[in-house]
Chain A
Amino acid sequence: MLRASVVVFPGSNCDRDVQVAIEKITGFPVKMVWHGDASVPPSDLIVLPGGFSYGDYLRCGAMAAHSPIMRDVIAKAKAGTPVLGICNGFQVLCESGLLPGVLMRNASLKFICRDVTLRVDNDQTFFTKCYRKDQVVKLPIAHAEGNYFADQETLDRLEGEGRVVFRYCDEAGEATPQSNPNGAQRNIAGICSEDGRVVGLMPHPERLFELPLGGADGRRMFESALVSVLEPMS
C-alpha cells in the first residue's frame, strides 16, 4: 500500500499529471489535498506539483510557501515524510526553506519546453533508488525560472554531501555548458535534503513515463518511491 498525497494550489497545473503517473505506475490511488486545508492526511509521500501556484505573480513559489497547507507539509517533512517537488514544486520547496537555493529566471529569459538529458548523481534518495548512479536519462523541462542558484559555499556543501541528485548533461553524461538549458549553477537540475527524503527537481518525470508519450525514463522515480515505501516493511 502506498499513500501518496498531491497538494493542489490554485494555479497548479501538473497536479492531475502526477496523480495519473503515480496511479498508473504504482497502482495505488492518490489523494488530492487543497492548499487551504490545515493538514495533509497521513501519507507515505507528498508531491508538490508543477504549475503556476497563485499565478506566480510574486517570485515563483513564494506565495505557495506561505499557504496554510505548507505549514503542515514543512512539519511533516521535518518529521521524515518524503516530499517530492517538481518544477513549481521545487520552487516552493526552496522558498519554504526545505531545500537551499533559489530558482532564477532562465539565462535565455525565455520559457523553455524540451526534452533534456540528465545525469543521475545520487541514486540513494527516496525517489531515485531505481536509477543507477551516472545513468543518463531523458526528461522534459518546461519552465521560465529553472536557473538554480546558491552561493558557492552552499553549492560546495551540496556537492560534498552528495545532495545534487540530477545534473543537465550531454548524451555522454558530461555536464557541459551546452547541455545546460537554463544557466543553472553547476548544471544542477535537482537536489535533495540531507536525509535524501525531500527531493526537488525542475524536469518533469510525470511527463515521460510511458513510451507513447516519447519516453519512459520518468517511471523509475515513482517506482523508486514505491520501493522505498515497501522496503522497510519486507
Chain B
Amino acid sequence: MRAPTAPEMGLSDVIAVPHGWRWDLAWDASLHPRQRVHPSPRAGDNGERRRYKRRHLDLQNRTRDQKRPRMDAKTESSSPDKPAAGIEITPEIVAEHGLKQDEYSRLLKILGRTPSFTELGIFSVMWSEHCSYKSSRVWLRTLPTSGKQVIQGPGENAGVVDLGDGDAVVFKMESHNHPSYIEPYQGAATGVGGIMRDVFTMGARPVANLNALRFGAPEHPKTRHLVDGVVAGIGGYGNCVGVPTVGGETNFDKGYNNNILVNAMCAGLARTDKIFYSAAKGVGLPVIYVGSKTGRDGIHGATMASAEFDDKSEEKRPTVQVGDPFTEKLLIEACLELMAKDVIIAIQDMGAAGLTSSSCEMADKGGVGITLNLDHVPQREAAMTAYEMMLSESQERMLMVLKPGSEPEAEAIFRKWGLDFAIVGETTDTGRMIVTHRGQVEADIPVTTLANSAPVYERPWYPTTPPKMILPEWVPAPNAVLTTLKTMMSGPALASRRWIWEQYDHMVMGDTVQRPGGDAAVVRVHGTQKGLALACDVTPRYVAADPVMGTKQAVVETWRNLTAVGADPLAITDNMNFANPERPEVMGQFVGSVKGMAEACRVLDYPVVSGNVSLYNETNGVGIPPTPAIGGVGLVPDVAHIADIKLKRESDLLILIGREAGHLGQSLYQELATGKFEGAPPPVDLADEIKAGRLVRALIREGKVSAVHDVSDGGLLVAIAEMALAGGMGVELFAYEGRLPAHAIWFGEDQGRYVVSVDPMLAEQVLERARLLALPARIVARTGGEVIGLKGEQPLPLAELKAANEAWLPGYMAGAD
C-alpha cells in the first residue's frame, strides 16, 4: 500500500482536472470516442471482457502447443529492439493479459522493444489491479499509518505493532473473493493459507485467524453451496495448520448474490528484535526457494481477481489455486526454526503473482538486481514453461535470501521438515531481473521499473450524496416489542453463527481466553498475562448510504468491540471490497470510504498498518455494496481483567452508556417494519466514542462490571437479548418514559453505546462517572429469571428465544427453508 507518488516515479501522465472530476490523460486517449464523450458506468471495454474469459485456456494451449518463446541473451543485449522469438505478441494476446492499449504502450517504452511472452506475462500480473493498486494507491496514501505503537506500517507483508516487553503483533487481512465464488472450498482455504504466510514471513507465529464473510441472499440458489464450501475451506485449512479461528462476521445480502466476499485476517506474535523484512540488501547472495513444488495452478489468479465476472465466470476455475495445509504447517515450523538462527537476510512469501512478484519486490526493496534460473525451481509437473513458472500461484512457497555459506544449515532444516529447498538464483549489481530457463534468457527487465512503474490512475469519481435523516416517528411502531425482538433474532441478520464457528478449531494453541460469539476474541500472548483482542466489522448498508460516515462507523465498531472486552485498541488492517472502480460512482464510494476511515483512525489514534484492496467485485455490471471490512487489534494488559457479554449475576442492573437519539435510518428494525433500508446511517461522534471507551475500559479493569456489550445491529434490545442468551439469564426491562418513541429506543442503532452489567450498589457510582464525562447513562434493566420481561407485554422465555436464534442457520443449511 505504501507507494511512491507519481512525480517521485517520474510519471507525468497522471494529472488532476478541476471540478472534482479527475482524468488520466493516457487512459482518456485510449478510450473509444463514444466513451470519451459519455463516461458510461461500463467504461471497461466489453469486448475485452468477453475475450478475457477464454484467456487462461488459450494461453495454456499456446504455451504447450507452440514453440516456447526464447530470447537469446546476446542478441537481446546487442539489439534491444529485436522482438522476442516464439509467440508473436498480437494486440489480442495483449488484451487477453488484461493490459489496456495505453498500458502496453507504456510497457514498450520501458523495455524499448517488444516484450517476450514471459515478459508480457510478468508485466501483466505486476500491473494487475490486485498487485499494483493502480486505482487505489493515490487514495490509500491519505490514510494515517503511523503512531508510537507502530513498528511497521503498510508496504511489507503485514503490519507490525508493539505490545510492550519486546512482544509485537503482526497482522493483516486479505480478500479471496473472486476465487471463492468460483471454487468456494479451495478459494477460501487458500485465502487463509495466504494470509498466514504473510504473517509468518515476518517472523511471527500465527496465533489467531478471523474472517469477514458476505454471502448473497439466503434464497439465492448458490448461497447455501457457497456458505458450505467457504466455511469448510476455512476450517479445513486453519484446523489442520493448528491456528485457532477465533472470530469473524458473516452476513447475507442480495448485493453479494454473484460476488461473495471472503476476507481472511491473521494475527501472529513475534519479538520486536526478530522481525523479518523483504529487502534483499547485498550482492552475490543466494536466492532460495522453499516449500511446495510449482505447478500450473493459479496462473493468472491475480489478473482474474482484477476483472469483473460475467455469466461464464466458472470457466475460470483453473485459475483458482489448490491449498495444502499440511505443507503450510511444515513451512511455518521450518521457517520459524530457521528464523531463530541468524541467517535470513530477506524473506517473502509467494502469493499473488508468485515467483514474479516475490523476486521483484525483494530485489527492488534491496536496491539490487536478481537472477533466477528456472531449471532449479522444484516443479510438480513436467515441461513447464518459464511463463508458467513465473506466473504460477501454487501455494505454500517462499523465497528467501540467505547469508552466503548458510545454505547447508538452512537446507538441513527444510529437509528435516520434508520440504523442497533449492538455490534458484542470486542477487546482482545489475539492477535487472534476469530469468533464464534451459539456457535461454526468458526475461530481462529493470527491477525498479518493474516494481514501481505500474500505471497510477486517478479514476474519475463523484461523491455519494448521503440521504436525508429519517425521523423516528416516520417508522411505524410494532404491536409488541418482544415479539418483534424474537422475529429479528431468528432471521438471517441476527441469527446465531454457531453453526459456522463450531466448524473452526478456535481453541488449539491453548491461549483462547475469549471464544467466538462475543464482541471481540481474546487470545493470550503465550507465556504472559497479556492478551490480544481481535475483531472485524463493517455494516455495508451504512457504507452504501454514506461511505464516509459508514466507514467511520466500521472503524469505531471494531474499536468499541475491542473496548468492550477491556482492550486498548491499537491499530487496524482494512480490506476494501468494492465494485468496478472505472465507474465514477463506485470510485466515489471508495474515496468516501477512505476519507471516513482516515478521519476515524486519526482521531482515535488507531492507524492502518496493513490492508488489501479488492476491486471489480461485479458481475454483468452489477456491483457489490461497498464493503470496507475493518480488522481491529487491541492489547489487554492482563487477561484476568477482561469482560464478556454473558450476564452472570442475578439482580444486577444493566446501564446503557451513550447518547440516545432513536436513529432508525438504515436499521434492521426499519427493514422489518417498512421492507427497506432508507435514509442516513447513524452518525458517529468520535469525541463521544473516546469518552465512552475510556469509561468502559476503566470500569472493566476496576472489576466494577460483570458483563459488557456494545450496541450495534438491531439496537439496545438486541444487545440486551444477546447478553441474556450468552449468560443464560433473563432480564426485566424498564419501560422507557422519555420523549422519543419507545420502539426507536429499543431498536434504534445510535452509535457510541455500551450496555454494562453492574452490582446495584455500584450503579449510582457508574452513572455519576458518566455524568462527569457529560455522557448520558441510564438504567435500562435488571437481571434475573428465565424470561425477558417488559411491562405490558407477554414475557419472552429465554429458552424460546435461544431456540429461535440458533435454529435459523443450521435449518437453512440443512435445506429446511
Given contacts A212-B513, A212-B640, A52 and B240 within 8 Å (CB-CB): yes
Report the bound CA distance from A11 to B326 in whole Å. Answer: 6
Kindly identify, within residues 396 to 417 of chain B, every residue whose CB is under 8 Å from any CB belonging to chain A: 417
User: Shortest distance in angstroms between B668's beta carbon and chain A's nearest beta carbon?
Assistant: 28
Kindly identify, within residues 35 to 60 of chain A, every residue whose CB is under 8 Å from any CB belonging to chain B: 50-52, 54-57
1/0 per residue, CB under 8 A from B, across A204-223: the answer is: 10110000111000000000
Q: Which of A16, A140, A207, A213 has the most CB of B within 10 A?
A: A213
1/0 per residue, CB under 8 A from A, across B488-504: the answer is: 00000000000001111
CB-contact partner of B242 in A13, A56, A213, under 8 A: A13
* CB atoms of B513 and A55 under 8 A apart: no
* CB atoms of A55 and B240 under 8 A apart: yes
Kindly identify, within residues 1 to 52 of chain A, every residue whose CB is under 8 Å from any CB belonging to chain B: 10-11, 13-14, 16-17, 20-21, 50-52
| B505 beta carbon closer than 8 Å to chain A | yes
| A132 beta carbon closer than 8 Å to chain B | no
Residues in B neighbouring A213, C-beta threshold 8 A? 507, 510-513
* CB atoms of A113 and B503 under 8 A apart: yes
Report the bound CA distance from A51 to B332 in whole Å. Answer: 15
1/0 per residue, CB under 8 A from A, across B226-264: the answer is: 000000100110011110000000000000000000000
Residues in B neighbouring A214, C-beta threshold 8 A? 515
* CB atoms of A111 and B239 under 8 A apart: yes
Kindly identify, within residues 315 to 336 of chain B, every residue whose CB is under 8 Å from any CB belonging to chain A: 324-327, 329-330
* CB atoms of A13 and B329 under 8 A apart: yes
CB-contact partner of A111 in B235, B241, B327, B512, under 8 A: B235
User: Shortest distance in angstroms between A30's beta carbon and chain B's nearest beta carbon?
Assistant: 14
Residues in A neighbouring B552, C-beta threshold 8 A? none
* CB atoms of A110 and B503 under 8 A apart: yes
| B97 beta carbon closer than 8 Å to chain A | no
Report the bound CA distance from A14 to B242 in whole Å. Answer: 8
| A142 beta carbon closer than 8 Å to chain B | yes
Report the bound CA distance from A112 to B504 in whole Å. Answer: 7
* CB atoms of A112 and B329 under 8 A apart: no
CB-contact partner of A112 in B232, B503, B509, B511, under 8 A: B503
The tally of CB-CB contacts under 8 A between chains A and B is 81
Report the bound CA distance from A117 to B100 in whole Å. Answer: 61
Given contacts A20-B510, A114-B502, A10 and B417 within 8 Å (CB-CB): yes
| B459 beta carbon closer than 8 Å to chain A | no
User: Shortest distance in angstroms between B257's beta carbon and chain A's nearest beta carbon?
Assistant: 25
Residues in B neighbouring A207, C-beta threshold 8 A? 507-508, 510
* CB atoms of A56 and B510 under 8 A apart: no
CB-contact partner of B639 in A50, A57, A212, under 8 A: A212
| B506 beta carbon closer than 8 Å to chain A | yes
Given contacts A207-B510, A212-B640, A10 and B326 within 8 Å (CB-CB): yes
Report the bound CA distance from A152 to B503 in whole Å. Answer: 30
Report the bound CA distance from A57 to B322 in whole Å. Answer: 15
1/0 per residue, CB under 8 A from B, across A173-213: the answer is: 00000000000000000000000000000001011000011
Given contacts A111-B505, A214-B515, A55 and B324 within 8 Å (CB-CB): yes
* CB atoms of B512 and A142 under 8 A apart: no
* CB atoms of B329 and A11 under 8 A apart: yes
| B112 beta carbon closer than 8 Å to chain A | no
* CB atoms of A142 and B329 under 8 A apart: no
| B743 beta carbon closer than 8 Å to chain A | no
Given contacts A51-B242, A55-B325, A212-B639, A206 and B503 within 8 Å (CB-CB): no
* CB atoms of A140 and B507 under 8 A apart: yes
Minimal Cβ-Cβ distance residue in B for A211? B640
| B595 beta carbon closer than 8 Å to chain A | no
Residues in B neighbouring A13, C-beta threshold 8 A? 240-242, 329, 508
Report the bound CA distance from A144 to B502 in whole Å. Answer: 11
Given contacts A11-B240, A214-B515, A55 and B326 within 8 Å (CB-CB): yes
* CB atoms of B524 and A52 under 8 A apart: no
Kindly identify, within residues 629 to 683 of chain B, every residue whose CB is under 8 Å from any CB belonging to chain A: 639-640
Report the bound CA distance from A55 to B502 in whole Å. Answer: 21
Minimal Cβ-Cβ distance residue in A for B419? A10
Residues in B neighbouring A14, C-beta threshold 8 A? 242, 508
1/0 per residue, CB under 8 A from A, across B264-294: the answer is: 0000000000000000000000000000000
Report the bound CA distance from A214 to B240 in whole Å. Answer: 23
| B797 beta carbon closer than 8 Å to chain A | no
Residues in A neighbouring B504, C-beta threshold 8 A? 111, 113
Minimal Cβ-Cβ distance residue in B for A57? B326
User: Shortest distance in angstroms between B368's beta carbon and chain A's nearest beta carbon?
Assistant: 35
Minimal Cβ-Cβ distance residue in A for B639? A212
User: Shortest distance in angstroms between A206's beta carbon and chain B's nearest beta carbon?
Assistant: 7
| B467 beta carbon closer than 8 Å to chain A | no
Given contacts A17-B510, A57-B326, A112 and B240 within 8 Å (CB-CB): no
Report the bound CA distance from A17 to B244 in whole Å. Answer: 12
Residues in A neighbouring B510, C-beta threshold 8 A? 16-17, 20-21, 206-207, 213
| B418 beta carbon closer than 8 Å to chain A | yes
* CB atoms of B507 and A10 under 8 A apart: no
Residues in B neighbouring A140, C-beta threshold 8 A? 507
Chain A residues in the interface with B (C-beta under 8 A): 10-11, 13-14, 16-17, 20-21, 50-52, 54-57, 110-114, 140, 142, 144, 204, 206-207, 212-214
Extra A-B contacts (14), CB below 8 Å, given A52-B239, A112-B503: A10-B330, A13-B240, A13-B241, A13-B508, A21-B510, A55-B240, A110-B502, A111-B503, A113-B502, A113-B504, A114-B502, A207-B507, A207-B508, A213-B507
Of the A-B pairs whose beta carbons lie under 8 Å apart in the complex, a sample of 7, sorted by A's number, is: A11-B240, A11-B329, A13-B508, A52-B325, A113-B503, A144-B239, A213-B511
What 6 A-B pairs have minimum CB-CB distances, sorted nearest first?
A13-B242, A55-B326, A17-B510, A52-B240, A142-B505, A113-B505
